[in-house]
Structure 1
């Protein structure tokens, strides 16, 4: 009798464990509405250690791009809006209209680090283009993703944002001041971050783990905005960023390479945060988090001055 009771207890615990895993998997698969940040890594790591290192690694990736036909030498973020029940799948992202524009501004027009604040002709990417790109990237390059379950109200807010952003032609400015909700331009990362803001996802707790922040010396910022010409040699000879007491321009950005390795580290170490679940699709690793209980923020979608 004792053996039978012990056996029944262990059987009950085992069934409870299996049922818990099935419920977690079921909830994860049927999360309803989703916001996805799909992370595309550059051919090699971008180093933010100094102006010299940033220029060197950027040029290296530009060269690798021309050989490997890699579309994103600095990495990239795609934004996905998925509503399985309604059959909605929308993908978007901010990119340059002409891939060589930024390089020409730096190499020929003396923009220097001012390129990080320059208005560049841009465009919004569309669903079909991105789906085809992801299929290729998953075959030849490293990628990962962050997947967030959101409420119905939040999902509608995000789709309304994208529709209005498109209608206002804000996608015509790539980069700029990286303030998309003010119509002042956005790179792919700033555009992705704006969706996190509008969804009310408390991403600030991970922002420093995803981002690079630098103090650009005043004399390295060139181009129309700063009325200065900066040579390539000046950048390559500058071995450190400005201190907080020196004249400088502060720049921060969510870096796809850093974000990707944050996801991989979570997979390797197993997340201690119970709100995070390991996720995987087509051998691409990701993190899933459920924020479907949160209502969207009440602040306006756009903050145009």
Structure 2
């Protein structure tokens, strides 16, 4: 007997560990709205992402991995604002109620929810081409949100780890290159299981002057900080953190992956120089890749100080496609 909408929700989502009660969630799945508790000196951070089959993931994507990725990329927006995770909703459009697919997807979603400290508090289901819309909620002290505006000339431009690995995994995900070897496994893990830097985001409250998460590529996303902050950003090619896995897999395209590949879901932020050492000494994985300068836009320079130019600067849904 085919599953109805409410039985589907009850069996695969309402029963999941991430849908059970938790601090900050006064009312979760089962009513017309969820109710969230906030202290009087806190603000609510909210972000929505949609992932569509054939655009954000291939049709034959493993549902367990897809569940992990869908929530991970959404929760990364909370990290970018310095918000502590609270809850999320899921609106899922399905071509059919396939029990095996749903069971695996729900497990992946639950796994990432546990890693991020997020609770499933509601959503919707409908029939149609596969798409996933997740809205994440976080909390943070009033006035301490990290935003894209605020970078100052002289600030360091930093990132939260090695760049380009998920972009290098894309040919493996699409089946264009055989996914074998130790490097392929590491890169695929970065693509399918992006771990939002939630703790780092909270550690940057009151320290970073501007921040965002890298989803469309370092160049494109730093452009948002430069514009919002009315500064220029200079990226120094020799300081880009490139892993051995990236270099081995991408070869000559490693720099393109790191600068414009996208899907890193690491934090990029500006930091007054005096704040760097205490954060690094505390163990945070901060890499300095450049600095904020007078002017506008983003410039990449090589070890000789000469401009380095890519053919494109990052992904846009309604702009030129990636190479």
Q: Shorter-chain-normalised TM-score: which range?
A: under 0.3
TM-score (norm 2): 0.23
Richer in helix (by share)? 1
More relative contact order, 1 or 2 (CA 8 Å, 6+ apart): 1
